[in-house]
Amino acid sequence: MTEDANAAGPAANQPPAGANWNTGGVQVVGSTVHGPVAGGQGATVRIGADAAPAAPVGPEELRAAAEALRAALARLRAERPGAVADADAEDADIALAGILAETALDEPREGPLRRRVGTVVDALRTVAVLAAAVTGLEAAFAALFGQI
């Protein structure tokens, strides 16, 4: 007999008879685990009843992402000339410098940062070796201000 986990009805909210049902997290079958266990992207372990501290979100994360991307872009241009079109690399570098200047302010402004992040994304979106760094920059902006 097989059961469809996506089927509607009472069986959809209950594990099959005699089965283990993992709704996310770590499942250990046939062994014992002593101590906390966390697995997967963004997994954390909390011991006790204290609330988990929120991840820090601020201009420093956006600044760090911009610095990392700027360094990666400079390395790529030095190691593989022509890997990024000169005009795109220059646009991205100028925008990244603007992000660094803006995030150094006491209260960075969303509008200029949004435009500069957009310029970087447009200039470097097709450069596969920088894709993770570009995504990191977008994620840092989104954490600070919301979606681009």
Q: Per the domain annotation, does 33 fall within a domain?
A: no
When the pLDDT of each residue in the chain is averaged and rounded to a whole number, the result is 79
Q: Structural domain tally of the chain?
A: 1
* 59: Cβ contacts below 8 Å, ≥ 6 apart: 103, 108, 144
Distance CA 108, CA 124 (A): 23
Q: Per the domain annotation, does 87 fall within a domain?
A: yes
Q: What are the CA-CA distances from residue 133 to residues 36, 38, 84, 121, 139 (Å)? A: 31, 26, 15, 10, 10
**This prediction's pTM:** 0.62
Q: Per the domain annotation, does 118 fall within a domain?
A: yes
**Is pLDDT larger for residue 123 or for residue 146?**
123
Q: Per the domain annotation, does 84 fall within a domain?
A: yes
pLDDT tens per residue across span 38-62: 555 555 555 555 555 555 568 999 9
* pLDDT confidence of residue 1: 47
Q: Per the domain annotation, does 128 fall within a domain?
A: yes
Q: Per the domain annotation, does 45 fall within a domain?
A: no
Q: Per the domain annotation, does 23 fall within a domain?
A: no
Q: What are the CA-CA distances from residue 64 to residues 37, 40, 82, 136 (Å)? A: 29, 24, 26, 10
Contact of 122 with 89, CB cutoff 8 Å: no
pLDDT tens per residue across span 26-43: 555 666 655 556 555 555
- pLDDT tier, 3 (very low <50, low <70, confident <90, very high otherwise): very low
pLDDT tens per residue across span 79-94: 999 999 999 999 999 9
Distance CA 106, CA 4 (A): 55
Q: Per the domain annotation, does 88 fall within a domain?
A: yes
What is the residue whose two structure tokens read 């986990």? 5
- 74: domain range? 59-145
pLDDT tens per residue across span 91-144: 999 999 999 999 999 999 999 999 999 999 999 989 999 999 999 999 999 998
End-to-end CA distance of the chain: 48
What is the residue whose two structure tokens read 């509607």? 8
